[in-house]
Amino acid sequence: MGRCRTEIEKVKDNIKYWMDSGFPREFLEFFFKWALLNLYYSKISNQKCEVYRVLDFGKKHEDLFDYVEDHARELVKKECVGEGLEAAPPSRWVKTATLQLRRKLGIDTERVCATCRSEKRRKCCEVKTEEYEFGRMEALMRILYQIRCNLFHGGKTEWGRDQMKRNQCLVETGNKIVTIILEKLVRS
């Protein structure tokens, strides 16, 4: 009961912080732009589960990757996007997508992993990868979807200085990518 109480108090502190200080502009922008993208990928896919609609979008729009490649590179040159708060490791699917995208972009995974927080690196080593080959855009969409899930479900709202800085960086890069995608979609 005590551990649960402590976690609830952390959540309350987090809520109070954001209610008092206001949500960062880049987070609000990402929420809105993702909602616009959701309109599109939900219409082009008959998949029931949202993550599969997102992946379907990536498969059907592999051609968009060339426009976002530099930003995708920026995203995967950093520590993997975790599944939740603080030093949470990535899910199996996000780890697979990240490793494959790094390989396709010629990024040295060992060098990137050497810069990860030790606690996260230790947890990540225990995460298995999937037997699945992502396309470049599909892999990128899976990573972006994790950022979206973390924001929507509260996993990227920590306000501690270092973690907040990292979260803002992930969201800013995600915003750049989603903006380009939306612009290309409406012009095609």
Q: Higher confidence at residue 15 or residue 162?
A: 15
- Establish how many alpha carbons lie within 13 A of residue 143's alpha carbon, considering only the half-sphere containing its beta carbon: 33
Q: Check pLDDT > 80 for residue 7.
A: no
- The whole-number pLDDT of residue 157 equals 62
pLDDT at 3 over 70: no
CA–CA distance, 101 with 106 (Å, rounded to integer): 8
**Is the predicted pLDDT of residue 27 greater than 90, yes or no?**
no
- The pLDDT tens digits for 116-134 are 989 999 999 999 999 999 9
pLDDT in tens, 166-187: 888 999 999 999 999 999 999 9
Distance CA 8, CA 53 (A): 33
The answer to whether 155 and 83 have CB atoms below 8 angstroms apart is yes
CB 180 within 8 A of CB 144: no
pTM over 0.85: yes
From residue 180, alpha-carbon distances to 16, 36, 71, 159 in Å are 34, 12, 10, 28
Distance of alpha carbon 188 from alpha carbon 179, whole angstroms: 14
Write the pLDDT tens digit of every residue in 53-91. Answer: 999 999 999 999 999 999 999 999 999 999 977 788 999
65-76 vs 92-105: helix crossing angle, rounded to 10: 110
pLDDT digits (tens, 9 = 90+) for 141-167: 999 999 999 888 765 566 566 677 888
- The pLDDT assigned to 159 comes to 56
pLDDT for residue 113: 93
146 close to 91: Cβ distance less than 8 angstroms: yes
Residue with tokens 């732009």: 33
pLDDT of residue 5: 64
